[in-house]
Amino acid sequence: MRVRTVCLGKTGIEVPQNAFGALPIQRISTEDAVSLLRKAYEGGMRFFDTARAYSDSEEKVGKAFEGMRDKVFIASKTMASDSEKFVKDLDTSLKNLKTDYLDIYQLHCAPKCFNEEDGIYQSLLEAKRQGKVRHIGITAHKIGVAEEIVASGLYETLQFPFSYLASDRDIELVRSCKDHGMGFIAMKGLSGGLLNNSRACMAFMSLFDALPIWGIQRQSELDEWLSFFEKETEMTDELRAVIEKDRKELLGEFCRGCGYCMPCAADITINQCARMSQMIRRAPSENWLTDHWQKEMMKIENCIGCGVCKTRCPYELDIPALLKKNLKDYKEILAGKEI
């Protein structure tokens, strides 16, 4: 096996540095999802991350691993803001996942570092005391919040966006987690689909004590990630060149496609339209020039400027301005500008 093993801090959880993010399986049938999950296990993956917010993802994970609970590590999340909702979410997750415990239970997309004075944190501790949760974690999107979480010493794992587009501050966060004995789970390792060189992504992750959870929806995607169990993933000069090129093209203000800004009052598909300039240049352009996407992009002209999307964006992007910038570029491409 070529993939290195990582340990999630003081949890003692040791798994291959190649894990399954189960958000995308909510978009496929139960039969296809179960098949995908089982093949992931057979191929070497041992860590599976899901959430209450991912519609039926938990149920699919539960069905896939029924009868083999001790062979996999399962993490889930709750967006609850009070103890009553927390208990309800946890019980639902345990039922869906067909288990009496979760290896890691995480507060989902935390707006702040919840501490001992917060009821939701006490609920986490109580769940751990009851044995329903073995380790407590938290996920965040804002670097300042993430730094406060690490410094607090209250959580065993942190999940945060991390890819080779990471800033120096992001990298320092990962190192700080290690220094504090905290496990680091890397989400958005492909930056919402903007990165398309899996070798470069995997090689970058291998430089850190980080567990990437790749969002997987198709067999072809799974095959690509499983191939790294058989081939070297070390950083090379060739891959450094790929990374440097992508960083020059993509660093700065860009949409990760998370969708937390949705829904839009003007029915704009923000999480695609706000990053159209990048997607049209990094995927077959004809996929983004169809009648469907032309109509979707033109909806930007109906933006009422309410600013609700800005308040929801975990990256604090000026989304209305970003949409207009992408629409201008898109119209120029339709008019004949070279991509």
Structure-model confidence comparison of residues 77 and 278, the more confident one: 77
Please, what is the average pLDDT of the chain? 95
Are 221 and 77 contained in the same domain? Answer: yes
Mean pLDDT (whole number) for 320-333: 96
Question: Is the model's pLDDT at 95 over the cut of 60?
Answer: yes
- Residue 37 CA to residue 26 CA, distance in Å, equals 12
Q: What is the model's pLDDT at position 214? A: 98
In a domain, 143, yes or no: yes
Decide the pairing of beta strands 102-107 and 73-78.
Answer: parallel
Mean pLDDT (whole number) for 232-257: 90
Q: What is the model's pLDDT at position 10? A: 96
In a domain, 27, yes or no: yes
Entry pTM: 0.90
Are 226 and 316 contained in the same domain? Answer: no
Helical (H) or strand (E) element with 157:
strand 157-161
Mean pLDDT (whole number) for 99-121: 97
Q: What is the model's pLDDT at position 76? A: 98
Are 186 and 300 contained in the same domain? Answer: no
In a domain, 29, yes or no: yes
Q: Quote the Cα angle for 295-298-299, to 5°.
A: 95
Q: What is the model's pLDDT at position 283? A: 74
In a domain, 263, yes or no: no
Decide the pairing of beta strands 211-215 and 133-139.
Answer: unpaired
Structure-model confidence comparison of residues 232 and 200, the more confident one: 200
Catalytic residue from among 54, 155, 164, 330: 54
- List the CATH number of the domain containing 23: 3.20.20.100
Q: What is the model's pLDDT at position 282? A: 82
Q: What is the model's pLDDT at position 253? A: 79
Predicted confidence band at 258 (pLDDT cuts at 50, 70, 90)?
confident
Return the amino acid letter for 151: A
Omega cis (within 30) before 263: yes
- Residue 164 CA to residue 292 CA, distance in Å, equals 32
Are 227 and 99 contained in the same domain? Answer: yes
Domain end among 188, 211, 245: 245
Q: Which domain holds residue 62?
A: 5-245
Structure-model confidence comparison of residues 219 and 338, the more confident one: 219
83 token code pair: 């103890």
Q: What is the model's pLDDT at position 130? A: 98
Are 276 and 202 contained in the same domain? Answer: no
- Per-residue pLDDT tens for 25-37? 999 999 999 999 9
Question: Is the model's pLDDT at 232 over the cut of 70?
Answer: yes
Are 284 and 184 contained in the same domain? Answer: no
Domain count for the chain: 2
In a domain, 10, yes or no: yes
Q: What is the model's pLDDT at position 1? A: 52
Residues with Cβ within 8 Å of 239's Cβ and at least 6 positions away in sequence, in order, are 197, 199, 200, 203, 204
In a domain, 223, yes or no: yes
CB 161 within 8 A of CB 188: yes
In a domain, 262, yes or no: no
Question: Is the model's pLDDT at 128 over the cut of 80?
Answer: yes
Question: Is the model's pLDDT at 287 over the cut of 80?
Answer: yes
Are 143 and 218 contained in the same domain? Answer: yes
Question: Is the model's pLDDT at 80 over the cut of 70?
Answer: yes
Are 236 and 284 contained in the same domain? Answer: no
Are 235 and 294 contained in the same domain? Answer: no
Q: What is the model's pLDDT at position 193? A: 86
- Residue 190 CA to residue 316 CA, distance in Å, equals 20
In a domain, 253, yes or no: no
**Active site (annotated) includes residue 54:** yes
Query: Could you tell me which of 122, 8, 140, 121 has the C-alpha nearest to residue 75?
Result: 8
Question: Is the model's pLDDT at 219 over the cut of 80?
Answer: yes
Are 52 and 149 contained in the same domain? Answer: yes
Are 160 and 292 contained in the same domain? Answer: no
Are 46 and 88 contained in the same domain? Answer: yes
